[in-house]
């Protein structure tokens, strides 16, 4: 009876492979399944008198689903790598891989309650339930690294508890390498795309995100930085229940920020404006940026009109020299000074020493496109702008010049992800924001060292 009850509670979930070898075996089985599917499909088509290309056999709908399913089930680095690749270079990928990566951005399965209980036994000790009046075994959110549960302690605290999937931290490096190899040999990654730096940065970022004690420290640090801004609200870390793999925070209410789509125009404009103003503070005042642009990291309290900020595992510190170079890049874009833009972009690390003038101008064209809201006088209408499509087209044009440009430094990629995420959120809210007015106070300000 107990076993039947556990099976019912575990239905609809997916256990996370915890051991390194079990995770490797999953990837090996995935490669074997893809190869078997190719063989079967090839045999079928040859029997029909067709001569299929290898690429057509590889990228069948069945194989695309097989890869997406397995990477989502592994979670952790396997899933996070797909998410990072999709945001940083998705426009350069074949549509089949783009479909896999898009699914990984949204598809995170919860681990079953039986596995959750084992994880909490290891972190809090047997009998941990005695500390709680209520602990919801069904998570309210599940992502690539862990899942979030609501709970109430015996002393009345209402908490949101983030629990890390087992084996994720120990398997980060091997998962990233194995998945990258799988995507490369399968042909799903273009041969000319150099993802070495991105793989290295993915490992570093994942190790940081998997350290929940470190995330708690970032959360407390960030809360101090915005203590002078009552329009923002952050959860409080509860240290007595926080470990390296469990992060206990005060439970925050609010609604998903996307629910503001039906709010009055002025309210949507205000919320988007607050987030862009905060981004400029992050860059030019704090030199500390929460780089994850996931919409789920923002909630809105309609009663207090406060923005709730969540998830600080992807917080990144920026050097003063890079921040000042970005200040000069943005200011020169506003002024239309391409020569100064080029100098600032070089200081950030965008250009190889042997870059040609044509390629340099193409890069500057992309910057000018991206800075369009900065250059616009008055409120920029994100809802009626085709800016994301134009940036994509400019990036695709640039991608054909692979012999003369290289992937920008990691600091730039993560900043672009954050800014791009805010652009998308503003577009979703159909917000109108005077971005130029928000930036100009920083245009001539000296960046603190």
How sure is the predictor about 34, in pLDDT bands with cuts at 50, 70 and 90? very low
Reported as a pLDDT band with limits 50, 70 and 90, residue 293 is confident
Question: Which of the pair, 329 or 169, is modelled with greater confidence?
Answer: 329
Domains of the chain: 2-110+171-193 (no CATH), 112-164+211-252 (3.30.200.20), 254-449 (no CATH)
Give the closest residue to 78 by CA, choosing from 199, 194, 164: 199
The DSSP annotation for 67-126 comes to: HHHHHHHH-HHHHHHHHHHHHHHGGGS-HHHHHHHHHHHH--PPPPHHHHHHHHHHHH-T
What is the gyration radius of the CA atoms in the chain, in angstroms? 23
CA distances from 131 to 151, 235, 241 (A): 10, 20, 10
Could you identify the residue written with the tokens 């605290």? 157
Q: What is the pLDDT of residue 397?
A: 66
The one catalytic residue among 211, 269, 292, 324: 292
Confidence band, pLDDT 50/70/90 cuts, at residue 111: confident
What pLDDT score does 389 carry? 76
- The pTM (predicted TM-score) of the whole model is 0.79
Top pLDDT among 401 and 240 is at: 240
- How does residue 437 score in pLDDT terms, banded at 50, 70 and 90? very high
Q: What's the pLDDT score for residue 413?
A: 83
* pLDDT at 406 (0 to 100): 60
Among this protein's residues, is 434 annotated catalytic? no
Token pair for residue 313?
Answer: 């595992």
Which pLDDT belongs to residue 1?
A: 34
Characterise 211 by phi-psi region: left (phi > 0), alpha (psi -120 to 50), beta (else): beta
Q: Which of 10-14, 153-157, 234-238 has the lowest mean pLDDT?
A: 10-14
What is the per-residue pLDDT for 374?
Answer: 95
Cβ atoms of 387 and 372 closer than 8 Å: yes
The pLDDT assigned to 141 comes to 83
Give me the mean pLDDT over the 168-188 stretch: 71
Strands (E), 236-337: 246-250, 255-256, 288-290, 298-301, 306-309, 315-317
Which one, of 310, 314, 311, lies nearest residue 299 by Cα?
310
Which of 346, 373, 383 lies closest to 439 in space, CA to CA? 373
Whole-number Cα distances in Å, 447 to 35, 321, 417, 435:
54, 8, 22, 19
Query: What is the pLDDT, as a whole number, of residue 448?
Result: 60
The 10s digit of each residue's pLDDT in 334-375 is 999 999 999 999 999 888 777 778 888 888 888 898 999 999
DSSP 434: -
Closest CA to 198 of 89, 92, 101: 89
Average pLDDT over residues 434-439: 97
pLDDT digits (tens, 9 = 90+) for 252-291: 989 999 899 999 999 999 999 999 999 999 999 999 999 9
pLDDT band at 27 (very low <50, low <70, confident <90, very high): very low
Q: What mean pLDDT value characterizes the chain?
A: 79
Rounded average pLDDT over 133-161: 92
Give residue 103's pLDDT band: very low, low, confident or very high (50, 70, 90). low
């Amino acid at each position: 009876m107990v076993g039947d009850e556990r099976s019912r509670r575990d239905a609809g979930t997916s256990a996370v492979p915890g051991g390194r070898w079990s995770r490797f075996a999953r990837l090996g089985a995935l490669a074997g399944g893809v190869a078997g599917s190719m063989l079967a499909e090839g045999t079928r088509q040859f029997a029909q008198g067709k001569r299929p290309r290898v690429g057509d056999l590889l990228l069948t709908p069945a194989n695309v689903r097989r890869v997406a399913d397995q990477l989502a089930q592994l979670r952790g680095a396997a899933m996070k790598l797909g998410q990072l690749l999709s945001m940083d270079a998705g426009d350069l990928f074949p549509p089949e891989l783009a479909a896999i990566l898009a699914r990984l951005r949204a598809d995170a399965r919860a681990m079953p309650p039986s596995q959750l209980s084992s994880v909490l036994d290891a972190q809090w000790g047997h009998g941990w339930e005695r500390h709680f009046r209520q602990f919801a075994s069904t998570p309210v959110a599940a992502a690539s690294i862990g899942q979030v549960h609501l709970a109430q302690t015996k002393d009345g605290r209402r908490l949101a508890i983030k629990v890390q999937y087992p084996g994720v931290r120990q398997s980060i490096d091997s998962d990233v390498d194995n998945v990258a190899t799988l995507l490369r040999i399968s042909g799903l990654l273009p041969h000319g795309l150099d993802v070495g730096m991105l793989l290295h940065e993915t490992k570093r970022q994942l190790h940081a995100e998997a350290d929940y004690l470190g995330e708690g420290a970032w959360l407390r640090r960030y809360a101090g930085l915005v203590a002078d801004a009552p329009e923002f609200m952050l959860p409080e870390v509860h240290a007595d229940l926080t470990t390296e793999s469990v992060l206990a925070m005060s439970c925050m209410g609010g609604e998903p920020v996307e629910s503001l789509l039906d709010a009055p125009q002025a309210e949507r404009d205000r919320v988007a404006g607050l987030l862009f103003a905060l981004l400029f503070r992050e860059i030019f005042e704090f030199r500390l940026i929460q780089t994850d642009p996931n919409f789920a990291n923002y909630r809105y309290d309609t009663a207090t009109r406060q923005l709730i900020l969540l998830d600080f595992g992807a917080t990144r510190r920026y050097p003063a020299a890079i921040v000042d170079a970005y200040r000069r890049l943005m200011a020169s874009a506003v002024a239309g000074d391409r020569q100064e833009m080029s100098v600032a972009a070089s200081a950030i690390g965008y250009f190889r020493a042997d870059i040609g003038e044509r390629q340099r101008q193409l890069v500057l064209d992309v910057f000018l496109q991206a800075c369009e809201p900065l250059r616009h006088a008055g409120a920029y209408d994100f809802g009626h702008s085709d800016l994301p499509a134009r940036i994509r087209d400019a990036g695709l044009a640039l991608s054909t010049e692979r012999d003369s440009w290289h992937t920008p430094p990691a600091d730039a990629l993560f900043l672009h992800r954050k800014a791009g995420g805010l652009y998308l959120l503003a577009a979703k809210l159909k917000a109108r924001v005077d971005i130029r007015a928000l930036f100009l106070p920083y245009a001539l300000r000296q960046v603190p060292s």
